[in-house]
């Protein structure tokens, strides 16, 4: 018997030739199905349109993505967001418990769900959280997941404590000073960078981080997030 890392129920996976050499699942079939149901595009009707760049669901009368249009007024846009899951249901509950209730064991579950894009990048760069916040929770949420995935990454950015972004309106967040600084001696001119963050909401966080990379003349900027 195994215990599900999500719901903590015990479950038993029948042994047969197809799974004899496979590792024991981390979560039960019920939780697995809930993750599956949160996949972007899962269960969406054929007339649902998403922005090809940031994957936002577009309104019926939204000819161009309003989020990207808003961001483009202040930033050079990212080239592509890579994300598999919607930020709701079991995905939202898992990330909340992981980050804010400090259940670091869930990093293993998240790492098992996140997939790097097939496209190759010169550097994979985690979006940092302030040192004080990492010290308080005792771990860095993005880096721990990348470590669980066995991904080699390069730290190039640092950030400072700022007001909780969820408490600020989008306009106030856009007008705020860029909280990120570039702290590496690596020459990234003409390089492709994949930024990694936990959640994509308004896009302001990754575009602020991206601004510190674009000014150093990178060639391409992709963003991978656990949820959108």
Residue 167 predicted with pLDDT over 80: no
Q: What is the pTM of this model?
A: 0.90
- Helix (H) or strand (E) holding 224, with range, is strand 220-227
Total Cβ atoms within 10 A of residue 41: 10
Among 26-40, 79-93, 172-186, 200-214, which is the least confidently predicted range? 172-186
Question: Closest by alpha carbon to 211, among 174, 185, 168, 170?
Answer: 174
Average pLDDT over residues 121-144: 95
What proportion of the chain, given as a percentage, has pLDDT over 90?
A: 79
Average pLDDT over residues 21-47: 86
Measured CA to CA, the distance from residue 167 to residue 133 in angstroms comes to 17
Among 55-64, 129-138, 197-206, which is the least confidently predicted range? 129-138
């Amino acid at each position: 018997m195994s215990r599900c890392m999500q719901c903590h129920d015990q479950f038993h996976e029948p042994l047969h030739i197809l799974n004899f050499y496979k590792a024991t699942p981390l979560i039960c079939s019920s939780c697995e199905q809930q993750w599956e149901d949160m996949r972007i595009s899962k269960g969406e009707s054929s007339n649902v349109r998403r922005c090809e760049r940031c994957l936002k669901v577009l309104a019926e009368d939204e000819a161009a993505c309003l989020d990207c249009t808003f961001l483009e007024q202040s930033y050079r846009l990212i080239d592509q967001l890579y994300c598999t899951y919607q930020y709701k249901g079991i995905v939202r509950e898992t990330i909340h418990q992981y980050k804010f209730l400090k259940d670091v064991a869930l990093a293993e579950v998240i790492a098992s769900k996140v997939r790097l894009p097939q496209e190759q990048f010169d550097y994979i760069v985690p979006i940092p959280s302030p040192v004080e916040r990492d010290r308080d929770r005792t771990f860095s949420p993005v880096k721990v997941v990348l470590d669980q995935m066995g991904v080699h990454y390069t730290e190039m950015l640092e950030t400072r404590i700022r007001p909780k972004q969820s408490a600020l309106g989008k306009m106030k967040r856009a007008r705020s000073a860029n909280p990120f600084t570039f702290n590496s001696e690596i020459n990234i001119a003409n390089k492709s960078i994949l930024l990694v963050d936990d959640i994509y909401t308004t896009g302001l966080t990754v575009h602020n981080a991206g601004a510190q990379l674009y000014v150093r003349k990178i060639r391409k900027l992709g963003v991978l997030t656990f949820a959108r």
